[in-house]
Amino acid sequence: MDSNVAIIEFKSISRGMLVTDEILKASQVRLLLATALCPGKYLTIVGGDVAAVEKSVSVAEQLGGRHVYSSYVVSGIGDEIMDAISGKYVPEINDSIAIIESQNMANIINAADISIDSAKVDIVELRLGKGCGVNSFYIITGKLEAVKEAAANAAEFLSENGSLLAYKIIANPQRDLLRWLQPSKCAC
């Protein structure tokens, strides 16, 4: 799997599709995800070597102009994050959970990678705001201290980038809540 990715979020679906096509023509990258989002946004994730993904962002910013909502290069992204984006999840909840929310998809993906890299936690779900409104979120699980550390590091990153909506930690969640934490069948 690609460990270097460019995450580009467009304010326009048509511009996003056009620019994504140009990115693929101009850079030696692999398209990992390209999808319309709510409300009227488009998300592109490409992977490859660092120079190629950086060129993708450059092409996006040049051709997308004011239609680029956010863009970010994440180097060394964990396979867990890409698995979470594609809908795979950890089936069991450990001791505690944290829920981290943002409206900026590039930043929420990077924050999830920061969580995984900074403490021994697992991603339960990473939901990008497509079809279900504008908020994106992810849920991590692990021992309470690890969850606190991972969530705090992610929240710090999101705050510094002006995109933290909220984060909450739940120690020893009740079993009735846990049965509802399985990723829904929603296409969002």
CATH number at residue 32: 3.30.70.1710
Is residue 99 scored above 60 in pLDDT?
Answer: yes
Low-confidence winner among 46-55, 66-75, 95-104, 176-185 (lowest mean pLDDT) = 176-185
Predicted pLDDT of residue 170: 93
- Does 25 fall in a domain? yes
Work out the mean pLDDT of the chain and round it to a whole number. 86
Residue where a domain terminates, one of 25, 44, 75: 75
- Residue where one domain finishes, among candidates 75, 109, 125: 75
Asked if residue 102 lies in contact with residue 165, where contact means CB atoms within 8 angstroms, the answer is yes
Answer yes or no: is 169 within a domain. yes
Q: Tell me what the mean pLDDT of segment 30-42 comes to.
A: 84
Residue-level pLDDT at 131 = 58
Query: Is residue 186 very low, low, confident or very high in pLDDT (cuts 50, 70, 90)?
Result: very low
Q: Of the segments 6-15, 35-44, 83-92, 146-155, which one has the largest average pLDDT value? A: 146-155
Beta strands in the chain (DSSP E): 4-10, 30-37, 41-47, 68-75, 96-102, 122-127, 136-142, 164-171
- The pTM (predicted TM-score) of the whole model is 0.80
**185 in any annotated domain:** no
Where does a domain end: 36, 58, 75?
A: 75
Cα–Cα distance measured from residue 25 to residue 20, given in angstroms and rounded to the nearest whole number? 9
Residue 104 lies in a domain: yes
pLDDT of amino acid 187: 46
**183 lies in some domain:** no
Stretch among 16-20, 82-86, 101-105, 122-126 having the lowest mean pLDDT: 82-86
Do residues 120 and 149 both lie within one domain?
A: yes
137 & 166 share domain: yes
Print the domain residue range for 156: 80-178
Number of domains the chain is built from: 2
Q: Are 158 and 119 spatial neighbours (Cβ–Cβ below 8 Å)? A: no
Cβ(116)–Cβ(74) below 8 Å: no
Let me know whether 92 and 174 are in one domain: yes
Same domain as 62, residue 104: no
In a domain, 8, yes or no: yes
